[in-house]
Amino acid sequence: DVKVTQSSRYLVKRTGEKVFLECVQDMDHENMFWYRQDPGLGLRLIYFSYDVKMKEKGDIPEGYSVSREKKERFSLILESASTNQTSMYLCASSSHARVGTEAFFGQGTRLTVV
Amino acid sequence: QKEVEQDPGPLSVPEGAIVSLNCTYSNSAFQYFMWYRQYSRKGPELLMYTYSSGNKEDGRFTAQVDKSSKYISLFIRDSQPSDSATYLCAMSGDSNYQLIWGAGTKLIIKP
């Protein structure tokens, strides 16, 4: 059974804190993605990575950074958390094997910044 | 205008009804079309996957793609309360690995 695992289901952080969200996949996928999901706005891509140590900005990268030191792990970093970063964060992975391939998601991390 | 448009709903129907969920898109390069289902407080999971035009059936679910109209549909027959979820459409072209997402339609099946 394929698996994408996010380190936390629920997280509460204070404004200004540095926040790390971790994601691990066991499918040997090349591509990994971080999205945030807000009511009425759907899934918005923050960053993605198509290889180790490679990263590309998505649609809303401001206030975020990422790290991919190993193929199976993709971390999202909130440099200085703000209340407008309260959201559901979803990690996903997909294979290079063919374009247009489906993405597999983790269970999500609901982050609240107070 | 968004590349992919999807009515957010909610769409509320009685148990046993046929449900029709739809997305329209503007990019004629899209070739891969997917429907994901997302239960409350969970990540999305792939439900149906279609390449190019045509229909695909899987049990009570049928996915249709009409590339001439840039319109895709998901039909659910004999809907059950367990089908209550948010349904997201996603699509991509031949030359990229990113999926372009609709906003999701919240579906409620009333017992």
Q: What are the tens digits of pLDDT across the range A51-68? A: 898 999 999 999 999 999
pLDDT at residue B27 above 70?
yes
pLDDT category of residue A83 using cuts at 50, 70 and 90: very high
Give the pLDDT confidence score for residue B51 in this predicted structure: 86
Q: What percentage of chain A has pLDDT greater than the value 90?
A: 79
- Amino acid identity of residue B12, one-letter, is S
Give the pLDDT confidence score for residue B75 in this predicted structure: 98
Q: What is the mean pLDDT of chain B?
A: 92
Q: Which residues contact A12 (CB under 8 A, 6 or more apart)?
A: A111, A112, A113, A114
pLDDT category of residue B8 using cuts at 50, 70 and 90: confident
A106 with B43: Cβ contact below 8 A: yes
**Shortest Cα distance from B6 to chain A (angstroms)?**
10
Minimum Cα–Cα distance from B98: chain A residue: A100
Q: Are A62 and B58 in contact (CB under 8 A)?
A: no
Instruction: Please name the member of B32, B42, B101 whose beta carbon is closest to the beta carbon of A107.
Output: B42
Q: Which chain B residues have a beta carbon less than 8 Å from that of A107?
A: 42-43
Give the pLDDT confidence score for residue A90 in this predicted structure: 97
Q: What percentage of chain A has pLDDT greater than the value 70?
A: 95
Identify the contact set of chain A against chain B, taking CB-CB distances under 8 A. Answer: 4, 31, 33, 40-43, 45, 48, 50, 90, 92, 94, 96, 99-108, 110
**Shortest Cα distance from B18 to chain A (angstroms)?**
25
Q: Number of residue pairs across A and B with CB atoms under 8 Å? A: 57
Q: pLDDT tens digits, residue range B47-90?
A: 998 988 889 999 999 999 999 999 999 999 999 999 999 999 99
B51 with A50: Cβ contact below 8 A: no
How many CA atoms lie less than 13 Å away from A82 in the CB half-sphere? 5
A90 with B44: Cβ contact below 8 A: yes
**Of the listed ranges A11-15, A76-80, A81-85, A101-105, the one predicted with least confidence:** A101-105
- CA gap B35, A76 in Å, rounded: 26
